[in-house]
Amino acid sequence: MDCAFPRLRKRLARTRPLAAAWLFLSLAAGGSAEVQSSPGIRQPALKLDPRCPGSEGINKLLMDSSAALQQGNYAATIQILQPFSSYICDPRVNLLLAAAFESSGDLPAAEQTLRQALSDWPANTAISTSLAREYLGSGEAQNAAEALRNFRATSRTPWQEIQMGVTVFLAAHQLEKAKALAEFGYRNYPSSQSLLLFANALQLEGRYKEVIALLESQKSIYQNSAPFLATLAESQYDAAIYDRARTNAERAISLDGNLYAAHYLLGNILLKLSDPEPAAAEYRKALELEPDQPRTYYYLALALRAQHDENDEEAILAKAIALDDHYALAHCEMGRILLNQDRLADAVAQLNLAVDDNASSEQAYYLLSRAYSRLGDKENADAMAKRLTAIRKNNHRGSTRSLGNQ
């Protein structure tokens, strides 16, 4: 069900470049802020530009600019660093300059600074993860993954960079890379945060049994962590172990009543247990916490449908579609309601939107066939019925292959 990943991605996309922020804090504390490179990647031998200051000059440059950045004086930071950013001097110059540009609101300049830096230092993990984060914040997941083409984590790679790498690979649907990097992060930085990121990567691969085994083995340590219990409950829900999932979701809520994922998940569990009224209450609480989640409106609509409240269901579905006009499930359910109300042309419009966004939706083709038939359009009704038969066969073959691979 991947409750956690969309919020993690959103949170990381809102924050300042992680590698640059880590560098800034290290410099402010007086550290050397060594920037790591990926092992095994051939780094061209770089000849430092003769216009670069020496090592002492670079350190002073970095300290002065980081002090200005800490004080919120972004213009001064840019003024100090920009003259040296086009030279091959030190990757930390480019990282801090990108952080200053972004903090001042000039995102294109930040992105361009990092792109140029990555071309000069292609194996530098701080630069690649910072650029990936810029792309991710702009919704360019594939470009973000491309920025991490040379990313290789070692025991010295900061956790923030590993976390960003996993988030990018998940967003780009490169699940095997995400899982491998998340597992590496958990082994090298064991914590509830790295454990749950690893669990989330496994969940997105559909490996809920492994998640349950992993989290159950750590439950004695993290039994008072609401996010941990919610993640465990999510995989138990996926495994149809609803009673145990309910217990863990309710325990998570008792520990943190403001945890969106737990309320949303408990709503789904209660709906599966044929208890729609309390399920609707959980969805409404989840929407109070995060009102911009279209899937919560969709499942609230299903809970209202189970209570035979079709008018409210239609209004709630409209909110889901307003938030995401490519939400195939919501369009399909809206089409079903309109079909029941004999608003046949409107139903056809909604159902065609559903199949545009999910061409393998059996329910949408079934309802389209009925709608066209009631409109007297036999040609389209027959076409939809034939398409439904083909989709069912294809979906059945895919389901059989998936079962064989488990």
pLDDT digits (tens, 9 = 90+) for 152-190: 999 999 999 999 999 999 999 999 999 999 999 999 999
What is the overall mean pLDDT for the chain? 87
Looking at residue 83, its pLDDT comes to 87
Amino acid at 6: P
Residue 305 pairs in a beta bridge with none
Mean pLDDT of 259-273: 97
Q: For the whole model, what pTM was predicted?
A: 0.77
- Give residue-wise pLDDT tens across range 46-55: 556 677 887 8
Mean pLDDT of 21-39: 45
Looking at residue 404, its pLDDT comes to 46
| Continuous segment of H or E residues that includes residue 209 | helix 208-217
- Cα–Cα distances (Å) from 348 to 100, 176, 207, 379, in that order, read 51, 39, 37, 14
Mean pLDDT of 128-132: 94
- Tell me the C-alpha distance between 234 and 186, whole Å: 20
Looking at residue 84, its pLDDT comes to 85
Say if residue 250 is exposed, middle or buried (CB neighbours under 10 Å; 0-12, 13-18, 19+): middle
In this model, does residue 2 exceed pLDDT 80? no
**Which of 395, 374, 372 minimizes the C-alpha distance to 382?**
372
Looking at residue 41, its pLDDT comes to 45
Structural domains present in the chain = 1-37+51-169 (1.25.40.10), 224-324 (1.25.40.10), 327-406 (1.25.40.10)
Higher pLDDT among residues 22 and 315, named by residue: 315
Looking at residue 36, its pLDDT comes to 58
Identify the residue whose tokens are 């092992």. Answer: 39
Mean pLDDT of 6-17: 50
- Tell me the C-alpha distance between 205 and 338, whole Å: 35
Looking at residue 54, its pLDDT comes to 79
